[in-house]
Structure 1
Amino acid sequence: MTILSQEIEKKGKNPYTFDEFVSKRDQLDWYKDDLFLQKAVKYFTRNDFETVNEKVLSLSPLVSSKWNRLAETIARPEVRPYMLHFDAFNHRIDRIVRPHEAHQLEQAVFSEGLFSSKIHPWESFTKRMIIHQLGEASVTCPLTCTHGLVALLDQFPSTDIPELEEILNHTKEGLSGNFAIGAQFMSEIQGGSDLPANMLEAIPDGKNYRLYGNKFFCSAAHADYAVVTAKIAGSDKVSTFIVPAWLPGDKEKEKRNGYIINRIKWKLGTAELPTAEIEYDGALAYPIGPANKGIAVAVGIVLTLSRLEIGIACAAFMLRASREAHLYADFRKVFGKKVNEYPLSASKLKKIDQAAKRTAAGAFKIYDLFLSLEQPLNPGIASEKPLELRKQLFNLRELVLLQKICATNEGADILREAMSIFAGHGVMEEFSSLPRIFRDVVVNEQWEGPRNLLLTQIYRDIQKVTDWYAPADFVAEILDGASKEVIQSFSMKLEDLLQRPILGEVNDESINAAMEWDEFCSSFFKAYQEVALLEIK
C-alpha cells in the first residue's frame, strides 16, 4: 500500500478509545480498593476485624470480576426469565426458564453459606454488601428471602413437623453442598401490602394444611421453599406457612406441589428475578409460628429482615455508583478539561460520595444495633421486657422502616446523579451498570411496603408508645452523638407533628401536615446517618 493510500485510509477514522477507563474499572476490587468500606468494617467488627477482613478479601475479587460479568450477561433483555408451562407430552411443568449464567451465579453465591451458623455475622453482612453491588442479578432478592425463612425457622423450631427441621438445614447449612433458596409470597391482588385482606385459604390436613387461592406478587418464584400467609378455614386471622415448591422426589419430574404459575410479570427493574402470579390448588403447607398470628410473625421477622436488607443494598448501590462516577470523571475530557475539573461536576461527585458513605455508615450502625439485641425479631415488643430493652427494640424497628424508605428514595436520586456524570453514556445499558441498578432501586422502593404505608406505620408506632417512651427521649436516643441544638430541634418538631391531623380526613391542613411528616422523616434519618458517619471518621 502506498503512503498516499495509507493517508487516505486514515481519513475519517476517530482514534478515541475508552480502553483506559474500561481497563481501570475492570481491575477494581470492590472491597480492597474501597478504603472507606474497610474502615467501616474495622470500626464495627472491633476485635474480629482481622478474621472478617481476610474472608471478605478472599471473596471480593471474584464478585468484582467473574460474578460481575455473569450479572451483566443475565441482565440482557433477550434472556429474561420466561415460562414453559407444558413439556412435550402435555404434562404441566411450569418450568421457569433462566439463562445458564443465572444458575451459575446462583450456585456460587448460595454456596457461600451466608446464613450458616458457622459464619461470623459481620462476615456475612460485609459479603452481602459487596454482592449487592452487582444489582439484583437474580440472586440478591432470593438471598434476602432465604435469610427471612431461616430466621423464621430458627425462631419457631417444631418437633411435631420434622420436615421443617429438614428445610432449615437445607437453607441454612446446606445438604451435600447444596443450599436451598427461600422466597416469601404474601401479597394478593386485592390487598398488596394489606395482609389482613388475604383471602388465600388453608384447609387442615392432619397436622399440616392444604392451600387454595391466588398470590399475586411472588418474587423468587423459582425458590425451593416459600413463606406464605393464608387464613385457616373458619378464621378471619392470618397465619404463616412454609410451602415447598416440590414434594420429595418430584423436583426431577418437574411436578409442583399443588400449584401452578400463571405467568411471569414484566417489571421495571430486578428484571432478572422471576416474579410470578401463583394459583394454589391443594399445595401441602407446614404451619409455622402461632396460629392466627401470621401478620405479627411475617412482618416482625420476615419483612423486617427484608427491609433491613434493602437498606444494605441501597448503600451498596451508591458505593458502586460513586466509585464508577469518580473513575469516569477523572478519565473523560470535554472542552479540554476532565469532567471532575468543572465545579458543577465536582459538586455532584461530592454529593454522590457523601451520600454513599453516609448511607453505608447508617446501614452498619443499624446492623450493629440489630446484632447487639436479644431476639430482635420477636413479633411485637413484649411489655414484660425491661424498659431499656423495649426502647432499644423500638429504636431498631423504627430505624429499619426509616432506612427502607429514605435509602431507597435517596438511592434513586444518587444513581440518577451518577448517570449524569457519564452524560449520554450514562443511559447506555452496555456501557454502564448504573441504568440497571437505578431501575433496581426504584423497584426496591416499592417492595416490602411503599413509602406512604411505612410513613404511616412509623407515625402510628410513635403515637402508641408515648406512655412509656416520650418523643423527646426517642429523638435523643436515635441522635445520640448529635449536637444538643439538632436534638432539640427534631424533638420539638416531632412533638408538634404528633399533634397534627396527619392521619385524619383529607383537607388542606392534613395534607400540609403529611408533607411535613414526610420531610421530617427524611431529614431525621439523614441526621442519624450523619452521626454514624462521624463515628467511623
Structure 2
Amino acid sequence: MGTVEETGFFQDPPRLHDEWAEDLALQRYLERVLPADVHEAVVPSLAEMGHLAATDLKTWSDAMDQPSEEPRLRGFDAWGNRVDEVETSPYWRRIAAVAHEHGVVATGYERANGAYSRVHQFALAYLFAPSSALYSCPLAMTDGAAKTLLVHGERDLVERAVPRLTSRDPATAWTSGQWMTERAGGSDVGRSETVARAEGPLWRLTGTKWFTSAVTADMALTLARPEGNGPGGRGLAMFYVEVRDDGGRLNDLRVLRLKSKLGTRQMPTAELALDGTLAHLVGPPADGTRNITPMLTVTRLWNAVTAASGLRRGLALARDYARRREAFQGALVDQPLHQATLAWLRVQHEASLQLAFRAVELLGRDEAGVATEREQQVLRLLLPITKLTTGKQAVAGASEALEAFGGAGYIEDTHLPQLLRDAQVLPIWEGTTNVLALDVLRALADGDLLAAYVEEVRRAAAAATSPATATVAELALDAADHATMWVTQAADAGQAALQHGARRLAMTLGRSLQAALLAAQAQHDLDVHGDGRAVAVAQRFAAEGLDLLEAPGERRAQDAALARDEPLPVPGAG
C-alpha cells in the first residue's frame, strides 16, 4: 500500500510540443515579409529546428541546468603543467553540433535567399536560442567576427577564419570570442589598459580582460592600445587572436578564473591574462572602437532576437501550464485575471519579435547591397534602440512568466528560474540600457537619421488601413513626431537635458516603431486570415503608452538630488 506522499496529487509540469508549429506570431510574420518562393524554401528547416527545440535541445539544455554540468577550469595537469583547460558538458557539445549542422550561423553567409537570408538565419536562431543552454552567445560572437573580418577585408584572415566560422561541419567549425571588457573600463571601453607591441608583421598583447564570454572559442577579436597611441577609444586598435596553437597550447594567455554569474551559468565566462599573446592587426592601428562596430552590429541583433525568443518561451510554458493547472474550481487558463497576464505576455513577445526582425530585414538588405540610403540610416539608429527596448521587455516578461507558476517558478529544478536568470543579462550584454541610449544620441548627431527613422515608422504605419489598425498607427506616428520635437527642444536646453532624457527618448522611438509594425502585421492578418488576434495585440500594446517623454530637463534637479541623496526644497515654500 502506497504512502500518502506516493498517492496524493502531483502537478503535471509544463511541456513544449513544437516550437515552430505553435508560434503563430513567427509564422504570420514570415508569411508577411517573405516572398512566396523564399517562404516555401525556408519553412522545412524552421519546422525541423522547432521540433528539435521542443525535444532533444530542450532535454540537453535542461540537463545542463545544474551545478554538476557547469563549466570547470582545470588549471594544471597531473604533472604540474599549466593547461588552463575549460571543461564543458557533453550536452554543450551536442547542442553545438546541432547549431553548426543546421546552419544557425552559416545560413546568413550562404546567401541562398539573397536579401532574405538573414531573416531565415535569425528565425533559426530564434527557435534555437531558448533551448541552447546559451550556446547562442558564442554563435552571436562567431557571426559578428565573420562579418567584421569580411568588412575589413584582410584577405589572409578572411581565408583562414571565415570558412571555419561559417562552417556546417562540427568537426571543422570555429567559434569566436569577443574580448573587450577590462577592469578599468567596463562600458567605457576607451579606458582599456591592454598594450600592443609590434613584433614584425605581428603584435604581442599584454593586459587583463575582465569578462570574456565563450572562452572555449577558437579565436577572438579584441582591443588593445598600440604603444605610443593616445588615450581613449581612438587610441585603441582591433586585433585577431587565435586562442591556441596547432599543438593545442594556449597562445601566451592564462585563464585566471571562471566567473560565478547570476545566470548564463552553462556558458564559460572567464577572466584572462594576456602575457604577450600573439595577434594580427585588423584594420588601421587606431580607431579600434569604430573598427569593431560590425561585431557589435551583429551581437546586438542576436541579443534582441534572443530577447524575443525568451519571451516566447516564457509565454509557451506559462500557457501550457495554465491549461494543466487547476485552481479555484477551474483551469488557470479559464481564470479572467490569469488570462489578462497571459495576454500581456503575448503582447510583449509579439512587439519584441516585430522590432527585432525588422532590424534583421534591414541588415539583410544592407549586406545584399539593395538597401536604400534611408534604410542604412534607419539601421544605424535602429540597432541600439532595438537592443535596449527588447532587453527591458525580456526581463519584465521573464519575471511575469515565473510568477505565473506560483512557487514552482522559484524552484531551481523545475528549470523555470533559468528564464529570469538568463534574461537579466540581455539589458547588460553589448551595452547597458544607458550606454545604448547615449549611443542613440551620438547617432542622432550624425546626419539626418532621426528623420529617416520617423519615415520608417510612417512606412510601417501606412500598411494599417482598417479603422482599428489605423488608430494604432496614428498613435505610433504621434509618438515618433513628438520625439523629433523633443530632440530639438532638448538640444536648445543643453547637453545635460539631452542626456537626462536619452533613455525615455530611445524607448519612445522603440515603442513607436513596435506599434506601427504591430499594426502592419494586424492588417495582414485581417486581410489574409480574417483574424483579429493581432489587432487586439496592437491595440493593447498602444494602450500601454508609447510616448514616454517629459519636457526637456523636467525633474533633472530632483533626480540629481535624489541620486546624490542631497536635500531638496520644500514644495510650495516661499
Tell whether the structures are fold-level matches, with TM greater than 0.5: yes
Equivalent residue for 1:130, pick from 127, 131, 138: 127
Alpha-carbon separation, structure 2, partners of 1:320 and 1:217: 28
Pairs within 5 Å for 1:101-500: 101-116=91-106, 117-118=109-110, 120=112, 121=117, 122-134=119-131, 137-159=133-155, 162=156, 164-173=158-167, 177-236=171-230, 237-248=235-246, 250-251=247-248, 255-299=249-293, 301-374=294-367, 389-431=372-414, 433-465=415-447, 468-469=448-449, 471-472=450-451, 474-482=453-461, 483-484=473-474, 486-500=476-490
SS of residue paired to 2:426: helix
SS of residue paired to 1:311: helix
* Residues 147/532 of structure 1: CA separation in 2 closer, same or farther (3 Å cut): farther
* Residues 212/536 of structure 1: CA separation in 2 closer, same or farther (3 Å cut): farther
Total equivalences in the alignment: 502
Contact 1:171/1:180 (8 A) holds in 2? yes
Measured against aligned partners, the alpha-carbon deviations of 1:11-70 in whole angstroms (never above 9, x if no partner) come to 676442334x55xx25x0111232332222222222211110012222332232111111
CA RMSD of aligned residues (A): 2.6
Alpha-carbon separation, structure 2, partners of 1:440 and 1:502: 41
Measured against aligned partners, the alpha-carbon deviations of 1:346-405 in whole angstroms (never above 9, x if no partner) come to 1111111122122112222221121112578xxxxxxxxx9x944321211211111111
Q: CA deviation at 1:440?
A: 1.1
Equivalent residue for 1:48, pick from 38, 55, 69: 38
Per mean C-alpha deviation after superposition, the further-off stretch among 278-287 and 168-177 is 168-177
Measured against aligned partners, the alpha-carbon deviations of 1:432-452 in whole angstroms (never above 9, x if no partner) come to x43202111111210111001
Measured against aligned partners, the alpha-carbon deviations of 1:257-310 in whole angstroms (never above 9, x if no partner) come to 0100111111111111111111111111111123313211212x0011100111
Partner of 1:37: 26
Contact 1:83/1:263 (8 A) holds in 2? yes
SS of residue paired to 2:459: coil
Alpha-carbon separation, structure 1, partners of 2:439 and 2:302: 19
Partner of 1:67: 57
Contact 2:130/2:310 (8 A) holds in 1? yes
SS of residue paired to 1:211: strand
SS of residue paired to 1:314: helix
SS of residue paired to 2:485: helix
Percent identity over the alignment is: 23
Equivalent residue for 1:530, pick from 499, 518, 530: 518
SS of residue paired to 2:441: helix
Partner of 1:3: none
* Residues 183/150 of structure 1: CA separation in 2 closer, same or farther (3 Å cut): same
Measured against aligned partners, the alpha-carbon deviations of 1:196-242 in whole angstroms (never above 9, x if no partner) come to 22221111122111111111110001100001111112112111111
Q: What amino acid maps onto 1:316 in structure 2?
A: S
Alpha-carbon separation, structure 2, partners of 1:12 and 1:74: 28
Q: TM-score, normalised by structure 2?
A: 0.81
Alpha-carbon separation, structure 2, partners of 1:515 and 1:180: 37
Contact 1:84/1:95 (8 A) holds in 2? yes
Contact 1:479/1:527 (8 A) holds in 2? no
Alpha-carbon separation, structure 2, partners of 1:218 and 1:370: 26
Contact 1:357/1:533 (8 A) holds in 2? no
Q: What amino acid maps onto 1:295 in structure 2?
A: T
Partner of 2:557: none
Alpha-carbon separation, structure 2, partners of 1:197 and 1:357: 39
Equivalent residue for 1:88, pick from 69, 75, 78: 78
Unaligned runs of 5+ in 1: 1-5, 377-385
Alpha-carbon separation, structure 1, partners of 2:40 and 2:173: 27
Contact 1:240/1:294 (8 A) holds in 2? yes
Measured against aligned partners, the alpha-carbon deviations of 1:127-147 in whole angstroms (never above 9, x if no partner) come to 11111122x614110000000
Per mean C-alpha deviation after superposition, the further-off stretch among 514-523 and 289-298 is 514-523
SS of residue paired to 1:221: coil
* Residues 531/197 of structure 1: CA separation in 2 closer, same or farther (3 Å cut): farther
Per mean C-alpha deviation after superposition, the further-off stretch among 28-37 and 509-518 is 509-518
Contact 1:362/1:528 (8 A) holds in 2? no
Q: What amino acid maps onto 1:88 in structure 2?
A: A
Alpha-carbon separation, structure 1, partners of 2:135 and 2:4: 48
SS of residue paired to 1:444: coil
Contact 1:502/1:513 (8 A) holds in 2? no
Contact 2:181/2:187 (8 A) holds in 1? yes
Per mean C-alpha deviation after superposition, the further-off stretch among 46-55 and 522-531 is 522-531
Partner of 2:543: none
Q: CA deviation at 1:490?
A: 2.7
Q: What amino acid maps onto 2:366 in structure 1?
A: L
Q: CA deviation at 1:454?
A: 0.7
SS of residue paired to 2:424: helix
